Structure 1
Amino acid sequence: MEKSSISIQLTSSKKPKPQSDELAFGRVFTDHMFVMDYSVEENWHSPRIVPYQAIAMEPAAMVYHYGQTVFEGLKAYLTKEGKVLLFRPEKNMERLNKSNDRLCIPRVDEEFVLEALKQLITVDKEWIPEKEGTSLYIRPFIISTESYLGVAPSKTYKLIIILSPVGSYYKEGIAPVKIAVESEFVRAVAGGTGTAKTAGNYASSLKAQEVAEASGFSQVLWLDGLEKKYIEEVGSMNIFFKINGEIITPALNGSILEGVTRNSVLQLLKHWGLPVTERKISVEEIAEAHKEGKLEEAFGTGTAAVISPVGELIWKNESLVINNGETGPISKKLYSTITSIQRGDQSDEFGWTTEVSTVEKEKVN
């Protein structure tokens, strides 16, 4: 499909835009969305930008019953000059197809979907908030739509992209968070769907998250699903630890989602000449490092929060306070560097940003 094949139907009734300082995460959506359909006969077809609206599907649509769905998450940022930038969007398109493969969903043309995403942002560019720490969150997702109750891959799908102006993902912002090590529930196992960005992974995490929040924790630290010994992820983020000068993150093992921010952090740390290792790391090793005074810093990485410092871990009712509960220097430097690149405040020597369009500053909230 060509760029020109995307039809555009503009809304006749624009919604009021929230003020930048009132934004939460994922509560408000822009005026338009992108939609594209799939059928066995026509492949991916009928790409269009239409007014944001409800999706009409039959109760027997397979996504409701078997969860055959995938999604992505990325952001658009507004620079001081009014340019709209995306951060490594090609990595999200690449990961979308990896998720598609795992869930038996037909692959998409990555370049075309990225172009459609850019066109949608251009149509709704007045929704991009200007205040520092805010952005336009982008949610591409695919759902199975065939009306059939047999357990098999669907023969029809919809790809949809919606946009949401957002503030900080965590109310604590860049301040350190309190994390509970989860020893009962598991997020994923090797051979499962942990490496795919699919709804079921997040649904299965809700119980542990609910329990953790009720006890005053921001997130849970997931252990492996077999031995419940090795660290995998923290909440919906990848996790890093600095132990005795070395920065360690769990190696990708078939159950850990490969984060775009994780990849960016690894590149930055190596670029700065810091010792960084991808390997298995147990919660016992973390506890021992804390006991010996060698656990210097910990932080999560993800699109929504970018960098989320961990100030305290609770494991077996034992409190492991990290860096006196304060944000560490590596977390600060990573957050500052990545967000500065994303917003165009710092030179992008890695070629990570993609310009979408320019926004007239007086039109931005």
Structure 2
Amino acid sequence: MSDIDWDSLTFSLTKTDWMYMVKCNLGDAWTPGKIMPYGTFEIDPAAGVLNYGQGIFEGMKAHRTINDRVVIFRAEENARRFQSGADRLGMPPVPESIFLDAVEQVVAANKKWVPPAGKGAMYIRPLLLGTGPIMGVAPAPEYTFIVFVTPVGPYFKGGLSCIDLIITDEYHRAAPGGSGGVKAIGNYAPGMMPSKNAKKEGFAEVIYLDAENHKYIEEVGAANFFCVKNNVIYTPELTGTILPGITRDSVIQLARSYEYEVIEEKVSAEFAMDADEAFCCGTAAVISPIGSIQHGDKKKVYSNGDIGPITQKLYDSISGIHSEKVEDSFGWLHEVDLNLNLEK
């Protein structure tokens, strides 16, 4: 679109033209939905999602590559995680085929909103909501699957830069046996206030420790944590309290392909603050280098406040695959057919 100032795009909502929606009653099978104009929709005040938080979401990106293709990164993994989350919250899982078709249709319908290569990406937001009315804590009688998209600019304007983080001893993100391992909508609002307080103190985000021992790092806000010590990469193991991030899994696979040792285990705050490098990762920023971590009166500065070499290599590799500057030897990219016959 010639009238969009791609250079001014930030990581925020820009309303696009089309979205996808389909409804399903509890106990019925999902059927394909339709593309419809982006906009509001009615919901009953007694909807399960409004009263009991019965909802999940995903975060994905479509990229325009240097070869002028529009590709989606590891969409099948998002589809499978979406199904797992639905199971955990008592919702009918959306079949992978319907999920992937919906995502591709919405990207194709809004193709003019995909930024040029190097100018950002199209962020994709699938939602599954318990929209049927219910009184009493029980599964809603009806569910709505929605996909919408928005163009976003690069997370780091002006290039990759380090962030400063603070460890909280007061708040925890999740507890064993809870829903910390799924992208439940209710997992995110409780982190807003600790994050806001951290930003007031000059930090980019807060690091959460485990709720059981209060000593092991779990997540950075809504991102997965990694650190590097003596060229060995460490990341907290998946225990059910940590989201199994798709970028996290991609980092692990990439690092091992470069013959780095990657250890998934409990990572104590003490160990992390003695590491050589640290970074966090997620769909939004891909990889965020950590410049420093504050814990109480102790502060650790990594790589003299610069980006560590392993962090930089992994970021360049993943972002290079997104843009096709780096060969996709893993088969992670799915090209979107921009000339799809859309169901409207």
Residue 141 in structure 1 maps to residue 121 in structure 2 = no
Cα distance change on mapping 1:220 and 1:172 into 2, 3 Å: farther
- Return the TM-score normalized by structure 2: 0.95
8 Å CA contact retained: 2:55, 2:128: yes
Partner of residue 268 from structure 2, selected from 257, 263, 282: 282
The alpha carbon displacement at 1:172 in A equals 7.5
**In 1, Cα distance between equivalents of 2:32 and 2:316:** 41
Residue 340 (structure 1) aligned with residue 320 (structure 2): yes
Question: Residue by residue, what CA displacement relative to the aligned partner does 1:59-103 show, whole Å, maximum 9, x if unpaired?
Answer: 221211111000001000001232110111000000000110111
Q: Find out whether 1:351 has 2:331 as its counterpart.
A: yes
How far did 1:168 drift? 2.3
For residues 111-130 of structure 1, the aligned pairs below 5 Å read 111-130=97-116
Query: Deviations for 1:159-213, whole angstroms, at most 9, x for unmatched residues?
Result: 0000000012355852000000011000001210100001111111112101101
How much has 1:236 moved relative to structure 2? 1.0
Out of 182, 185, 191, the residue aligned to residue 205 of structure 1 is 191
Matched, 1:68 2:54: yes
Question: Does structure 2 retain, via aligned residues, the 8 Å contact 1:21–1:131?
Answer: no
Contact 2:205 2:221 (8 Å CA) reproduced: yes
RMSD: 1.7
Work out the CA distance in 1 between the residues paired with 2:197 and 2:323. Answer: 36
Q: Is the 8 A contact 1:17 1:127 kept in 2?
A: no
**Alignment partner of 2:255 out of 257, 265, 269:** 269
Partners in 2 of 1:232 and 1:42 — Cα distance? 37
Q: Aligned ranges for residues 9-24 of structure 1 at < 5 Å?
A: 18-24=4-10
Greater shift, 66-75 or 145-154, is seen at 145-154
Alignment of 1:35 with 2:35, yes or no, is: no
Q: Which residue, out of 145, 167, 176, partners 1:190? A: 176
Question: How big is each residue's C-alpha offset from its partner over 1:109-155, in whole Å with a ceiling of 9 and x where there is no partner?
Answer: 11221012112211111110115150000000111111222111111
Q: In structure 1, which of residues 175, 181, 189 is the aligned counterpart of residue 161 of structure 2?
A: 175
Aligned AA (1:324)? N
1:154 equivalent in structure 2 = 140
Q: State the Cα distance separating 1:46 from its structure 2 match.
A: 5.8
Q: Confirm whether residue 241 of structure 1 aligns to residue 227 of structure 2.
A: yes
1:329 aligns with 2:309: yes
TM-score (norm 1): 0.89
Q: Closer, same or farther in 2 for the Cα pair 1:199/1:255, shift >3 Å?
A: same
Point out where structure 2 has 5 or more consecutive residues left out of the alignment.
340-344
Task: Look up the match of 2:284.
Answer: 304
Give the secondary-structure state (helix, strand or coil) at the position aligned to 1:43: coil
Report the residue type matching 1:337 in the other structure: S
Q: Which runs of 5+ in 1 are unaligned?
A: 1-14, 290-294, 360-365
- Whichever residue aligns with residue 305 of structure 2, its letter is G
User: Which residue in 2 is equivalent to 1:229?
Assistant: 215
Distance 1:238 1:252 in 2: 10
Q: How far is the alpha carbon of 1:270 from its aligned partner?
A: 0.7
Q: Does 1:79 align with 2:65?
A: yes
Q: In the alignment, residue 309 of structure 1 is paired with which amino acid? A: P
Which residue type is aligned with residue 8 of structure 2?
Answer: E
State the Cα distance separating 1:357 from its structure 2 match: 2.8
Aligned to 2:33, what secondary structure does the other structure show? strand
Give aligned-pair identity as a percent.
Answer: 39
Q: 1:164 and 1:182 mapped to 2: Cα distance?
A: 32
Distance in 1 separating the partners of 2:140 and 2:11: 31
Match of 1:292 in 2: none
Question: Is this contact kept in 1: 2:6–2:115, CA < 8 A?
Answer: yes
Aligned in 2, Cα 1:171/1:207: closer, same or farther, shift over 3 Å? Answer: farther
